[in-house]
């Protein structure tokens, strides 16, 4: 079974800053029982830090191999405006991702991340990444304090149209050190409407706003959803119901498998999450064909990866030619 993980991050504090995880710990601490020992907070902190220590992605590659994940999309988030007291490492993070592609050839697809408040300099950086460094998409993170519909983002979406690459936007609540204001699926509606040739992926398939996300994915040809971040729902036994709901709505060709590594490592590794989907197919929630769409075909189509059929037949990939073709 071929698998693409459409949503992950390099696990390092340069990519996912300590302040991001501090917020999670703050929130979890309030949810602890009243008699919880004070050292539990320190234990939570230590655990998140430990899960976020894989700067060369060697552990991730080992997990991918164990789970049978052929390729993983690594998403860069530009936190500079959200955490202005922290050093701005965006250029270093871009360089780090170029090295990761060289260290693990053929295993990673990188999406540039940008805050639109960077303006022209940000536009030049993203264009360089798409044109010269083989980055293959744009990740935006509205909890950093902007709407995905902001007009300042339109030139970036224009670049995505020019280079034929998708935009992935975070949807739903996140670390409490960030704003949840622009995290509803509907916040992306104007952009999806104005850029019909750009594919927009709703991160975490809307999570708490699944129906709203499903509505956009059902009615807009260029809106997709990634299934990362549902590990808590799976642990609660809700994954079947979620997949069946999307299936009834005819949305299985709009769903992309994703893990959100390393955020959900606390709830299990890549293999467990892959196995949860395989188990759904074994129990008839999904057919094998539908599982193949979610695991590979849907992502391959919008990422311009070779089809399963062409890989099985040993046909060399024409993806490079295709991507050059869209530049004209
Ligand atoms: Zn993520």
Q: Between 205 and 187, where is the model more confident?
A: 187
Q: Is 127 helix (H, G, I), strand (E, B) or coil?
A: helix
Q: Which of 125, 74, 69, 142 is nearest to 103 (CA)?
A: 74
- Give me the pLDDT at residue 320, please: 44
Query: Could you give the CA distance from residue 129 to residue 139 in angstroms, rounded to a whole number?
Result: 13
Residue 288 C-alpha to ligand 1 middle, in angstroms? 27
Residue 7 C-alpha to ligand 1 middle, in angstroms? 6
Residue 78 C-alpha to ligand 1 middle, in angstroms? 12
| DSSP H or E stretch at residue 138 | strand 138-140
Do 47 and 167 fall into the same domain? Answer: no
Do 158 and 72 fall into the same domain? Answer: yes
74: domain CATH number is 3.20.20.140
Do 33 and 92 fall into the same domain? Answer: no
Do 159 and 112 fall into the same domain? Answer: yes
pLDDT digits (tens, 9 = 90+) for 64-85: 999 999 999 999 999 999 999 9
Residue 264 has pLDDT above 60, yes or no: yes
- Give me the pLDDT at residue 115, please: 98
Phi, psi (rounded to 5 degrees) for 200: -105, 130
Query: Could you give the CA distance from residue 116 to residue 107 in angstroms, rounded to a whole number?
Result: 28
Query: Could you give the CA distance from residue 127 to residue 96 in angstroms, rounded to a whole number?
Result: 17
Do 240 and 308 fall into the same domain? Answer: yes
Look over the chain and give the mean of its residue pLDDT values, rounded to a whole number: 91
Do 35 and 95 fall into the same domain? Answer: no
Length of the chain: 328
Residue 51 C-alpha to ligand 1 middle, in angstroms? 14
Query: Could you give the CA distance from residue 273 to residue 319 in angstroms, rounded to a whole number?
Result: 28
The structural domain count of the chain equals: 2
Q: How confident is the model at residue 316 (pLDDT cuts 50, 70, 90)?
A: low
Do 41 and 169 fall into the same domain? Answer: no
Residue 176 C-alpha to ligand 1 middle, in angstroms? 15
pLDDT digits (tens, 9 = 90+) for 96-139: 999 999 999 999 999 999 999 999 999 999 999 999 999 999 99
Do 31 and 145 fall into the same domain? Answer: no
Lowest mean pLDDT among 12-21, 40-49, 214-223: 40-49
- Give me the pLDDT at residue 229, please: 86
Q: Between 178 and 23, where is the model more confident?
A: 178
Do 60 and 87 fall into the same domain? Answer: yes
**Do residues 306 and 319 lie in contact, with contact meaning Cβ atoms separated by under 8 Å?**
yes
Residue 29 C-alpha to ligand 1 middle, in angstroms? 22
Domain that holds residue 24: 17-51
Do 33 and 147 fall into the same domain? Answer: no
Do 149 and 222 fall into the same domain? Answer: yes
Residue 77 C-alpha to ligand 1 middle, in angstroms? 9
Residue 219 C-alpha to ligand 1 middle, in angstroms? 25
- Give me the pLDDT at residue 324, please: 39
Residue 8 C-alpha to ligand 1 middle, in angstroms? 6
């Amino acid at each position: 079974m071929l698998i693409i993980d459409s949503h992950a991050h390099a696990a390092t504090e340069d990519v996912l800053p300590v302040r991001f995880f501090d917020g999670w710990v703050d929130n979890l601490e309030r949810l602890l029982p009243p008699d919880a020992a004070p050292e539990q907070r320190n234990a939570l902190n230590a655990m998140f830090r430990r899960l976020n220590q894989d700067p060369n992605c060697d552990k991730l590659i080992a997990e991918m191999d164990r789970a049978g994940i052929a390729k993983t999309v690594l998403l860069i988030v530009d936190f500079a405006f959200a955490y202005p007291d922290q050093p701005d490492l965006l250029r270093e993070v871009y360089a780090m991702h170029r090295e990761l592609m060289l260290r693990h050839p053929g295993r990673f697809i990188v999406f540039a991340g940008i805050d639109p408040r960077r303006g022209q300099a940000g536009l030049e950086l993203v264009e360089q990444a798409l044109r010269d460094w083989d980055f293959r998409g744009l990740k935006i993170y509205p909890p950093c304090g902007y709407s995905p519909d902001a007009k300042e983002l339109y030139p970036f979406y224009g670049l995505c149209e020019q280079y034929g690459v998708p935009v992935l936007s975070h949807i739903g609540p996140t670390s409490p050190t960030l704003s949840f204001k622009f995290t509803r699926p509907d916040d992306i509606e104007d952009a999806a409407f104005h850029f019909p040739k750009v594919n927009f992926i709703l991160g975490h398939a809307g999570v708490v706003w699944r129906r709203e996300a499903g509505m956009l994915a059902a009615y807009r040809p260029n809106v997709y959803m990634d299934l990362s971040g549902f590990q808590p729902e799976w642990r609660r036994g809700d994954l079947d119901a979620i997949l069946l709901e999307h299936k009834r709505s005819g949305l299985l060709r709009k769903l992309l498998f994703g893990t959100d590594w390393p955020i959900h490592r606390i709830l299990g590794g890549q293999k467990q999450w892959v196995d949860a989907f395989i188990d759904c197919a074994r129990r008839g929630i999904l057919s094998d064909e539908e599982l193949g769409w979610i695991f590979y075909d849907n992502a391959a189509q919008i990422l311009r990866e070779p089809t399963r059929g062409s890989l099985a037949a040993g046909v060399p990939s024409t993806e490079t030619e295709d991507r050059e073709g869209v530049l004209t």
